Amino acid sequence: MRKLIESLGRILIAFVADIGGLFIMIWGIILSVPTIFKRIRLIFEQMLMMGVRSLPLVILTSVFTGSVTAWQAAYQFKGLVPLEWLGLTVAKTVFIELGPVLTSLVLAGRVGASIAAELGTMRVTEQIDALESMGINPVGYLVMPRLVAGMIMVPVLVMFANIIAILGGMVVAVMLVNISYETFTDSIKSYVYIRDVVSGLQKSVGFGAIIALMGCYNGFNAKGGAEGVGLATTRAVVLASVLILVSDYIMATILFNV
């Protein structure tokens, strides 16, 4: 019993310490905002890494996401719902949920891991300490550009993912389910609203912040050499993925009233 209480106590202390450390990092980012224009080059470098280099993976994921959504929806509709609603179902599902969430989960694995590994390596090799000794704020120099880039590029990638997913669903609907192109697109034009698109993009801004913050925070706190970097990378991906799903529910309840 004593060991159980001690374990729970250590977990609670570590949780509170992480929350405090994360808020300290966020406060440091806020204080670094006035220097944002000095970091434009760094921001664009991170946008290139997060966005352009992640695009092939996002496209591949989105094609199959839209395709399987269309196929499964057609299967569920069979004999119950007219297939004319297939385009609407695919578009709504992709714009509101699957596009933002699945794209962000994929990016949590790729981008979040990359950030945590890079900053973790800098921490254990004392490069971050060297920046501090030279009077350079490591939060403003390393964290803020990644956070800004994440909040910009994740919504951009989600827009690409939405388009590709709907095209993939349309190909399946036309070629395999035998629905005409006009039928598929007419239901989208008639019943998909701008709010559906915007709400998904709003969520993706938050998801981008989560991915960048989890990668940066865990990388900054890596210790113990190569093993510590590996643990920090794993932790960043797991925490980012869980927080994306939790925040998705919270934002859904705020954006959509039942």
pLDDT in tens, 198-244: 999 999 999 999 999 999 999 998 887 888 898 999 999 999 999 99
Q: Determine contact, residues 129/220, Cβ cutoff 8 Å.
A: no
pLDDT in tens, 84-113: 788 888 999 999 999 999 999 999 999 999
Q: Rounded to two decimals, what is the model's pTM? A: 0.90
Any idea which residue has 């095209």 for tokens? 167
Q: Determine contact, residues 165/62, Cβ cutoff 8 Å.
A: yes
Dist. CA 84–CA 179, nearest whole Å:
8
Tokens at 80, concatenated: 């119950």
pLDDT of residue 15: 78
What's the helix, strand, coil split of the chain in %, to 5? 90, 0, 10
Q: Determine contact, residues 64/165, Cβ cutoff 8 Å.
A: no
The one-digit pLDDT tens for each residue of the chain (258 residues) are 777 777 787 878 877 887 888 888 889 888 888 888 888 999 999 999 888 889 999 999 999 999 999 998 888 877 787 777 888 889 999 999 999 999 999 999 999 999 999 999 998 888 888 888 888 888 888 999 999 999 999 999 999 999 999 999 999 988 888 888 888 888 888 888 888 899 999 999 999 999 999 999 999 988 878 888 989 999 999 999 999 999 999 999 988 876
pLDDT of residue 111: 93
Dist. CA 221–CA 174, nearest whole Å:
51
Burial class (CB in 10 A: 0-12, 13-18, 19+), 174: middle
Q: Which positions ≥6 away from 56 have C-beta within 8 Å?
A: none
Q: Determine contact, residues 141/211, Cβ cutoff 8 Å.
A: no
Of the candidates 69, 133, 77, 129, the one whose C-alpha atom is nearest the C-alpha of residue 95 is 69
